[in-house]
Amino acid sequence: TTFFHHVNLQYSTISEFCTGEACQTMAVCNTQYYWYDERGKKVKCTAPQYVDFVMSSVQKLVTDEDVFPTKYGREFPSSFESLVKKICKYLFHVLAHIYWSHFKETLALELHGHLNTLYVHFILFAREFNLLDPKETAVMDDLTEVLCSGGGRGGGGGDGAGGGGAGAQNHGKER
Binding residues, by number, are: 18, 23, 97, 102
Count of other CB atoms within 10 angstroms of residue 8: 17
Q: Strands 35-36, 31-33: parallel, antiparallel or unpaired by DSSP?
A: unpaired
How would you classify residue 83: left for phi > 0, otherwise alpha for psi between -120 and 50, otherwise beta?
alpha
- Give which of 152, 165, 148, 151 is closest to 113, Cα–Cα: 165
Binding residues for Zn(2+), by number, are: 18, 23, 97, 102
CA of 140: how far to CAs of 119, 125, 134, 137, in Å? 11, 16, 10, 6
How would you classify residue 44: left for phi > 0, otherwise alpha for psi between -120 and 50, otherwise beta?
beta
Count of other CB atoms within 10 angstroms of residue 61: 18
